[in-house]
Amino acid sequence: MKVIVNGLAVEYQDDGNGPIMLLLHGWQDNLHTFDIIVHELAMTYRVIRIDLPGFGQSEFPKSTWQLSDYINFVKVFIEKLSIKVDVLIGYSFGGRIVIKGVAENVFNPKKIILIASAGISNSKSTRRLFYKFAAKIGKFLTYTTPLYFYRNGLKKILYDKADSDYMNSGALGGTYLKIISEDLSKYASQIRVPCLLIWGRDDSTTPLADGDKFSKLIKNSRIKIFDNAGHFVHQERAGEVIMEIKEFCAK
């Protein structure tokens, strides 16, 4: 289905009936990341998923966006559909939208679920940010310098170090850099609604240490950790994740 939000044609899917769940996907992802869990959830809930602007079948933003632009987009989307969201679920980058949007009272769900959420900045992510910038500069230099050692040495180092999300972000590269530089710790500490954190112990994209920090910052929260699962924990352990979500929402 399509709807126009802030001048952008946006793809979304709407399944089931009951209390409303709104699911927000990660970076370089789309609404289909949730396919494996939606069928069963839609037996009890009305499950709505969006392709965020720049991803899936939705149009690209016409300028470089910040996190606040994505939050406003989701707000207008909710208004367009004339819905009241009961459970707001954010995966990875989608978790950033949930955290800041709920903390600023832009969204007022009864409960939130954060799956492998992004939003914690630390020294390691700061180093990754440097390499992302370096890779961007490296791409330019590759086409402007004949130096063999650079093309075959330094370029390889920079590109190997650069995060694959950034390397694949294309026109959204500037937006991505703005978003990942924002630490959301202070916003997480302002959240008061019940929160379920779902994490894979082997997540190397948003490490378990981030989940542990969120569990301390968000007062009314609990964390469920899945062994032998990584960043796509909702796909790797779909059945168990569904059970956790249903149990949490039923309370």
CATH number at residue 219: 3.40.50.1820
Task: Note whether 91 and 46 are same-domain residues.
Answer: yes
121 contacts: CB under 8 Å, gap ≥ 6: 180, 181, 182, 183, 185
The confidence score (pLDDT) of residue 125 equals 46
Examine residue 155 and state whether it is found in any structural domain, yes or no: yes
Task: Note whether 144 and 220 are same-domain residues.
Answer: no
The amino acid at 235? Q
- With H, G, I as helix, E, B as strand and everything else as coil, classify residue 55: coil
Task: Note whether 114 and 152 are same-domain residues.
Answer: no
Examine residue 29 and state whether it is found in any structural domain, yes or no: yes
The confidence score (pLDDT) of residue 176 equals 86
Q: In the chain, pLDDT over 90 holds for what percent of residues?
A: 75
Task: Note whether 36 and 116 are same-domain residues.
Answer: yes
The percent helix, strand, coil of the chain (3-state, each to 5) is: 45, 20, 35
**CA 246 to CA 183: how far, in whole Å?**
30
Task: Note whether 197 and 135 are same-domain residues.
Answer: no
Could you tell me if residue 134 is left (phi over 0), alpha (psi between -120 and 50 degrees) or otherwise beta? alpha
The confidence score (pLDDT) of residue 124 equals 56
Long-range contacts of 4-7 (CB under 8 A, 24+ apart): 4/80, 5/73, 5/76, 5/77, 5/80, 6/72, 6/73, 6/76, 7/62
**CA 163 to CA 23: how far, in whole Å?**
25
The confidence score (pLDDT) of residue 198 equals 99
Give the chain's domain count.
Answer: 2
Q: What residues of the chain score a pLDDT lower than 70? A: 122-171
Examine residue 229 and state whether it is found in any structural domain, yes or no: yes
Task: Note whether 83 and 23 are same-domain residues.
Answer: yes
The confidence score (pLDDT) of residue 153 equals 52
Examine residue 15 and state whether it is found in any structural domain, yes or no: yes
132 contacts: CB under 8 Å, gap ≥ 6: 162, 163, 166, 176, 177
Cα dihedral across residues 22, 25, 29, 32: positive or negative: negative
**CA 150 to CA 5: how far, in whole Å?**
45
The confidence score (pLDDT) of residue 142 equals 44
Examine residue 114 and state whether it is found in any structural domain, yes or no: yes
Task: Note whether 97 and 154 are same-domain residues.
Answer: no
Task: Note whether 76 and 148 are same-domain residues.
Answer: no
The confidence score (pLDDT) of residue 78 equals 99
The confidence score (pLDDT) of residue 133 equals 46
Q: Quick one: DSSP state of residue 61?
A: P
**CA 93 to CA 102: how far, in whole Å?**
15
Task: Note whether 82 and 166 are same-domain residues.
Answer: no
Task: Note whether 17 and 99 are same-domain residues.
Answer: yes
Examine residue 177 and state whether it is found in any structural domain, yes or no: no
Number of helices (H) and strands (E) in the chain: give both, helices first: 12, 8
Task: Note whether 37 and 18 are same-domain residues.
Answer: yes
**Looking at the chain, how many residues does it have?**
251
Last residue of a domain, one of 139, 172, 205: 172
The amino acid at 3? V
Q: Which domain holds residue 196?
A: 2-121+182-250
Q: Are strands 111-115 and 195-200 parallel, antiparallel or unpaired?
A: parallel
Per DSSP, the residues of 24-54 read E--TT--GGGGHHHHHHHTTTSEEEEE--TT
Examine residue 11 and state whether it is found in any structural domain, yes or no: yes
The confidence score (pLDDT) of residue 89 equals 99
Examine residue 70 and state whether it is found in any structural domain, yes or no: yes
Task: Note whether 22 and 137 are same-domain residues.
Answer: no
18 contacts: CB under 8 Å, gap ≥ 6: 44, 45, 46
In this prediction the pTM is: 0.84
Helix 93-103 vs helix 67-81: angle between axes, to the nearest 10 degrees? Answer: 80
